[in-house]
Structure 1
Amino acid sequence: MLKRYEVSRYNFSDNFSVKVNLARGYRAPNIAELSANGVHPGTNIYQIGSDQLKPEFSLQQDIGFVYSSKYAVIQLSVFNNTINNYIYNQKLLGVNGQDSILVPGNQTFQFVASKANLWGGEFSVDLHPIKPLHFENSVSVVNAINKGTDGKAVADSEKYLPFIPPVHGTSELRYNFNLEKSGIKNAFVKVQLEYYASQNNVFSAYGTETPTPGYSLFNAGFGGSITNKKGDVLFNVYVMGNNLFNLVYWDHLSRLKYFYGDYKNPGSNDNPREHGIYNMGRNVSLKIDFPLSYNLKKSS
């Protein structure tokens, strides 16, 4: 549940405006967080819940700036969010200091709660020197600090909250066009670069999380609508290619990063305990959809 209150919005001119918001949020722990006790399929973890979890309460402040003109749209937004009883996953260790293994091949995690502070922002620029040409750029940043619980100091290895996305940026050059005489409209062709910075602010305690190196992905695509002589859309077709240079990388938020290659003996010298599954390589997709039009009116 999220209650948002718009404190102030002011238009300095037709091109520039500022908006300030205050939001109060509430979320009760879900059934998995309370009562899970078994292997979570597809994640390589044995998940344990906790019936001691309390509802999350958050207070967020954010401010946004928007500048819009004939040739550019520039937006900047920043936020600060304080959360009580923030629920997250923490890895469990056995009495000997090694991983707690309840089911072979699966690491053991338990849901815990702490005070947290998250802040960051997003900056975007859309330049269009001519109407059909767009050069869109954006960057987003999230920082997340684990404030711990009352009366308990937070160790350096627990300073950051786990599984927080790294700095992420995109740059896209897109050209929109229509070829009505050829029966094509709402067409586009684009190239895109996605950038993910390395994420070193991790919850390293108990081996819960490890740093992830940065990477860049190159994507491209084109598409449009095919019409009949009347201009009605017959179907839409899109061709998209992601990671065209077939880069080998790990997504910091992917659980597959923590799969081991040797389940029987993940710590053996022949197959050291390292990340086992990378993210998707080169991927080209074709999508065709056919719009449906119908009239529900009864004939007279």
Structure 2
Amino acid sequence: KVASTAVVTAMLGGSREEVINAVSNAWIDGQSLRTYRHAPNTGSRKSWAAGDATSRAVRLALMALKGEMGYPSALTAKTWGFYDVLFKGKPFAFQRKYGSYVMENVLFKISFPAEFHAQTAVECAVRLHDQVRDRIDQIKKIVITTHESAIRIIDKQGPLANPADRDHCIQYMTAIGLLKGNLTAADYEDSVAGDPRVDALRNKMVCVENRQWSKDYLDPSKRSIANAVQVFFKDGSKTPNIAVEYPIGHRRRRKDGVPLLEAKFKTNLARRFAAKQQHAILALCKDQRRLENTPVNEFVDLFVI
């Protein structure tokens, strides 16, 4: 929200002072809690949280451009400033200078509609599908080797309340990948979750931390999101241990990801627009120079149904 506030204010023609005024209000807003991302309150707010934050950024930008005042010590004011209220009095510490790092390392959710800590686990499960689909009832144990953040955030036991809860359960998503050889948004609905094989597989799963992967996850030069899946059968046989360190939407897999990202874009255009309109939108988006020189109102007009 803070970064979006600064960028949007500048894009709308704001002066340095207006950008500062807008950003100071963004800090004063504080932030939403993560309650809706974790059990027992995991919910659909996960799906609109980013849009909510950026819409607030636009609102603050527009207010600043209309003359809304800023607050010079929004961060540093004693007792009531951001640092004292939310950072235990400590100032921010930065890993790097301001630049384009965040944009260059954007994670695109391409292959599966899955929480990112589980993307590679689902990819592993899908690769194993052909080896296990006819032996589901013979499975004794499934080992998911993962990183600390995944264990802390999406390693879930017991009942799952709703689609958002299932999307934050690495065992659920891995089970679907093994059973179906794919994972779609529809697979989080009750009709699929009610399949008794899903919870049966979940109950056979064990999550184990790979400490090197935990380090690589936090390494700013790697940002890996690694998982491995191996299935053990009652007769003593087992599948290979399939490991994937980077999801397809990761910077290190752009060559794999860009064609799939374009295909996803085409699929979603086809769901909403007539063929001629689809072609116009796609043609513009594939021409960077023309896109950058297109007025915003003309771009938005292309999406009117």
Is TM-score (shorter-chain normalized) higher than 0.5? Answer: no
Instruction: Give TM-score scaled by structure 2 length.
Output: 0.19
Instruction: Give TM-score scaled by structure 1 length.
Output: 0.19
Q: Which structure has the larger Rg?
A: 1
The structure with the greater share of residues assigned to strand is: 1
Structure of higher RCO (CA pairs closer than 8 Å, 6+ residues apart): 2
